[in-house]
Amino acid sequence: MRAADALMESLKAEGVEHIFGIPGGANLPTYDALVDADFRHIQVRHEQGGGHAAEGYAKASGRVGVAFATSGPGATNLVTAIADAMMDSVPTVFVTGQVRTELIGTDGFQEADILGATLPFVKHSFQVTDPRQIPEYVHEAFHVASTGRPGPVLLDVPQDLSRADIDYAPRTEPVELAGYKPASGGNLKQVRIAAKALANARRPILYTGGGVVNANASEELREFATSDRFPVTSTLMGLGSFPASHEQWLGMLGMHGTVTANWAMDNADLIVAIGARFDDRITGKLAEFAPHAKIIHLDIDPAEISKNVGAHIPIVGDAKLVLPELTREYRALQTDPSRLDAWWKQLTGWQDEHPLHYEPAKDSEIKPQFMIEAMHRATKGDAIVTSDVGQHQMWAAQYYGFEKPRRWINSGGLGTMGFGLPAAVGAKVACPDDDVVCLAGDGSLIMNCQELATCVSEEIPVKVFLMNNGYMGMVRQWQELFWDRRYSAVAMGPSPDWVKLAEAFGATGIRCEDSADLEETMATALETDGPVLLDVRVTQEENCYPMIPPGQAARDMVEDPKMVS
Amino acid sequence: MEAGTPQLVKLEDLHVPGQLSGRKHILSILVENKPGVLARIAGLFSRRGFNIDTLAVGPTDDPSISRITLTLDGAVHPIDQVTKQLHKLVNVLKIRDMEPEETVAREMAMFKVSSSVESRAEIIQFAEIFRAKVIDVSRRTMTIEVTGSADKIEAFERMLRPHGLIEMVRTGEIAIARGGD
């Protein structure tokens, strides 16, 4: 069998149904094999879009996302998406074409050392040196990408090798890699110590992250949290793994988290970190982070434990397996639930005094926070929301109120502007029956707006809700607050006309400038067939609060512009 | 049960173990003998800001496996974090943080020193004391090979330096565990 056909067979054996990509010289054999293979291939318009679409697909479905690109510029265009998938632990497999073997190392046409270029950003990578490796490497790639802490795997296939003839037999045994043994269940002794420490805690808090989503452990988290009245906060990446409507939910923590969540961390005596990695956007000034707290750190990646913040009780394991053990051990201790009364009194006091708030508009102006609330109502809080990066992302995280996991798809670690639209393409392909809304910023959307053509041509009815404030708003906010309002290269100017742009792509374009019409216009956009771009003109210079100023501690959180010094 | 009874864990009794050992560590790493493995390890060290003091790579008794021996300063780098990051590389099979008391470590070095007729005897005497071998001689230079611990090699270097050290080449340490296991 031709090796390129064996590549298709191996992908099929891994359960692949959808592939995002663009052909080129070096992956012509792959695309030739694709003609007879039974995949849905989504022809994106830029490889970066293909990469983010694969990520959106993986985040929405929990399955491995797959993207193809050719050698050289095709492959380097994938690099941002690969780095993004690494930072957010997204199970993805990227298959790049490479120049013919005899050209490798000669600076051949469209040659780039993509293996070398992506070394810092991959969980693992392979370059095929013998065509018989192709099926084996595909299975290994899927195994590594999808198990343990998920991540991106690159498979680089020289053109000549994918044309070679090989014997192909479907693989029957599971993949075994001598140097790769992902953790599963936690150490029971450690779990018991954690339960006993929790039983003694007076001010505990559960700090949960994207690992809970990746582990599909939302139910287990809820069981654990409600085994007592443990307050729950989450990182940006973990939103939805604990329902926002739950009485134990404190809101997101971190730089733009709620006052209560951040002050709770600052005052806690015991923090249970679950699938979270103490990123600088969470800790703020590290030396002053959670000064009173002991740390229980549960993570599937041992290298995350004590990387940024030392763990008093480390537990390496899969949250889905460890949380039920922890719940059982904790319940067996039969603790007195009233011991958390004082803590909850303090927490609810903060919630009452420092809720998320904004100054409502006095006229028809659309406040960005109001736009998110309207979006919540129009989608009944049940859409899959992808987002770009910036203020709109933070407002969505604050105001949308995610009830379920895999409904909030954004670029957290790398903070990739332009992520939202291609990610929505992938999410809609994965979940065709769900409403998929891309909440975009105008600075971000332009970076990958070519994927509107993908939406139209491939009939992927994504709804883009553009929060258009005419600025790269978060950068503008920082320039205003920390750089004496010396605006530098943040205004977006009058271009493009988004409605006309949408129409030029063959999508529906709608504009909304009046808050009274917004919810209804959103409903219309959702009901309209095909892709829709809704250009919502919001307050131009609104700032996102509350905020922990960069390099400061949680207790320095500011809720009001007058407090920023 | 009353919260705070002795069988529960008192929070004030919980401590985080220190991250820095304060001494030199020799890591003996078995890796798959595949292209790019060294680049992965070197890249990991550079992007995480870990500084390698010495590095030696060679084959093992199994041709599909190579051994990388590297030394780094545990006063600067949290060794636990270094080894955990290394373990994440799929091509890394086994890492051993060699215990100093249970390890024999050796390094080879070659020194080229300028040697006049008058100084030659003294240099040869030093070489004998350090069990070093003269492996090349020219009219104005001598080249000496020495094997031993890094400390011994540095001591030998201090003896030779006053004679005019022209060039020094060191392999970096390799290490093996004492006794049987």
Q: What is the per-residue pLDDT for A561?
A: 66
Q: Which residue of B lies nearest to A125 if distances are taken between CA atoms? A: B90
Please report whether residue A113 resides in a domain: yes
Tens-digit pLDDT profile for residues B150-173: 999 999 999 999 999 999 999 999
Please report whether residue A564 resides in a domain: no
Check CB contact under 8 Å for A312 and B7: no
Count of positions (residues) in chain A: 565
Check CB contact under 8 Å for A196 and B9: yes
Query: Which residues of chain B are within 8 Å of residue A129 when distances are taken between CB atoms?
Result: 35
Shared domain for A260 and A235, answered yes or no, is: yes
Q: What is the per-residue pLDDT for B179?
A: 87
All structural domains of chain B, each given as residue ranges with its CATH number in brackets, are: 20-98 (3.30.70.260), 104-177 (3.30.70.1150)
Check CB contact under 8 Å for B90 and A313: no
Indicate the burial class of B125 (C-beta count within 10 angstroms; 0-12, 13-18, 19 or more): exposed
Shared domain for A67 and A23, answered yes or no, is: yes
Shared domain for A307 and A456, answered yes or no, is: no
Chain A interface test: which of B14, B45, B48 (most A C-beta within 10 Å): B14
The CATH number of the domain holding residue A256 is 3.40.50.1220
Looking at residues A4-13, what average pLDDT do you find? Answer: 98
Q: What is the per-residue pLDDT for B1?
A: 43
Q: Does the model's ipTM exceed the 0.85 cut?
A: yes
The answer, yes or no, to whether residue A195 has pLDDT greater than 50, is yes
If interface means Cβ-Cβ distance under 8 Å, which residues of chain B face chain A?
A: 1-4, 7-11, 14-17, 19, 31-32, 35-36, 39-40, 43, 47, 78, 80-81, 84-85, 87-93
Q: What is the per-residue pLDDT for B4?
A: 46
Q: Which amino acid is at B178?
A: R
Q: What is the per-residue pLDDT for A565?
A: 44
pLDDT over 70, % of chain A: 99
Q: Which amino acid is at B159?
A: M
A179 shares contact with chain B (CB less than 8 Å)? yes
Check CB contact under 8 Å for B85 and A127: no
Among A325, A353, A381, residue at a domain's last position: A353
A484: containing domain: 368-545
The CATH number of the domain holding residue A111 is 3.40.50.970
Check CB contact under 8 Å for A199 and B3: yes
Q: What is the per-residue pLDDT for A186?
A: 85
Query: Which residues of chain A are within 8 Å of residue B11 when distances are taken between CB atoms?
Result: 197, 200-201, 269-270, 294
Tens-digit pLDDT profile for residues A269-303: 999 999 999 999 999 999 999 999 999 999 999 99
Please report whether residue A174 resides in a domain: no
In angstroms, the CA B17 to CA A186 distance is 20
Q: What is the per-residue pLDDT for A559?
A: 87
Q: What is the per-residue pLDDT for B181?
A: 56
Q: Which residue of A lies nearest to B14 if distances are taken between CA atoms? A: A312
Report DSSP state, residue A165: B
Query: Which residues of chain A are within 8 Å of residue B31 when distances are taken between CB atoms?
Result: 179
The answer, yes or no, to whether residue B111 has pLDDT greater than 70, is yes
In angstroms, the CA A185 to CA A188 distance is 8
Shared domain for A487 and A391, answered yes or no, is: yes
Please report whether residue A463 resides in a domain: yes
Please report whether residue A264 resides in a domain: yes
Q: What is the per-residue pLDDT for A337?
A: 86
User: Which residues, 6+ apart, have CB-to-CB distance to A504 below 8 Å?
Assistant: none
Tens-digit pLDDT profile for residues B12-64: 999 998 888 889 999 999 999 998 899 999 999 999 999 999 999 999 999 99
Shared domain for A376 and A497, answered yes or no, is: yes
Question: Considering its fold, how many domains does chain A have in total?
Answer: 3
Check CB contact under 8 Å for A120 and B9: no
Tens-digit pLDDT profile for residues A465-516: 999 999 999 999 999 999 999 999 999 999 999 999 999 999 999 999 999 9
Please report whether residue A361 resides in a domain: no
Shared domain for A400 and A500, answered yes or no, is: yes
Tens-digit pLDDT profile for residues A67-95: 999 999 999 999 999 999 999 999 999 99
Q: Give the DSSP H/E element, type plus range, for residue B135.
A: strand B133-137
* CA-to-CA separations, A56 to A298, A324, A402, in angstroms, rounded: 26, 29, 17
A456 to chain B, closest Cα gap in Å: 41
Q: What is the per-residue pLDDT for B2?
A: 46
Query: Which residues between 282 and 321 in chain A have a beta carbon less than 8 angstroms from any beta carbon of chain B?
Result: 294-295, 301-303, 305-307, 310-313
| Strand boundaries in A294-428, DSSP class E | 294-299, 313-316, 384-387, 408-409
Chain B interface test: which of A307, A313, A316, A336 (most B C-beta within 10 Å): A307
Q: Which residue of A lies nearest to B9 if distances are taken between CA atoms? A: A197
In angstroms, the CA A304 to CA A308 distance is 8
**Residue among A127, A311, A335 whose CB faces B3 most closely:** A335
Q: What is the per-residue pLDDT for B3?
A: 47
Shared domain for A298 and A321, answered yes or no, is: yes
**Residue among B11, B36, B40 whose CB faces A200 most closely:** B11
Average pLDDT, chain B: 91
Chain B interface test: which of A149, A180, A286, A297 (most B C-beta within 10 Å): A180
In angstroms, the CA A138 to CA A93 distance is 9
Please report whether residue A527 resides in a domain: yes
B110 to chain A, closest Cα gap in Å: 34
In angstroms, the CA A153 to CA A124 distance is 5
Tens-digit pLDDT profile for residues A158-178: 999 999 999 999 988 999 999
User: Which residues, 6+ apart, have CB-to-CB distance to B112 below 8 Å?
Assistant: B136, B141, B142, B143, B165, B166, B167, B168
Number of Cα atoms under 13 Å in the Cβ half of residue A422: 34
A31 to chain B, closest Cα gap in Å: 27
Q: Which residue of A lies nearest to B35 if distances are taken between CA atoms? A: A127
Under 8 Å CB pairs connecting chains A and B tally to 82
Q: Which residue of B lies nearest to A191 if distances are taken between CA atoms? A: B9
3-state secondary structure of A295: strand
Shared domain for A325 and A402, answered yes or no, is: no
Indicate the burial class of B33 (C-beta count within 10 angstroms; 0-12, 13-18, 19 or more): middle
pLDDT over 90, % of chain A: 96
Chain B interface test: which of A118, A123, A294 (most B C-beta within 10 Å): A294
- Give the residue ranges of DSSP H helices in A207-314: 210-214, 218-225, 259-267, 280-283
Shared domain for A539 and A507, answered yes or no, is: yes
Looking at residues A241-251, what average pLDDT do you find? Answer: 98
Query: Which residues of chain B are within 8 Å of residue A303 when distances are taken between CB atoms?
Result: 81, 84-85, 87-88
Please report whether residue A555 resides in a domain: no
Tens-digit pLDDT profile for residues B79-107: 999 999 999 999 999 999 999 899 999 99
Q: What is the per-residue pLDDT for A467?
A: 98
Shared domain for A534 and A388, answered yes or no, is: yes
Shared domain for A348 and A387, answered yes or no, is: no
Closest CA to A465 of A505, A415, A504, A424: A424
Shared domain for A31 and A94, answered yes or no, is: yes
Tens-digit pLDDT profile for residues A370-408: 999 999 999 999 999 999 999 999 999 999 999 999 999
In angstroms, the CA A532 to CA A525 distance is 6
Contact at 8 Å (CB) between A260 and A350?
yes
Check CB contact under 8 Å for B10 and A333: no
Query: Which residues of chain B are within 8 Å of residue A295 when distances are taken between CB atoms?
Result: 16
Q: What is the per-residue pLDDT for A563?
A: 53
A335 shares contact with chain B (CB less than 8 Å)? yes
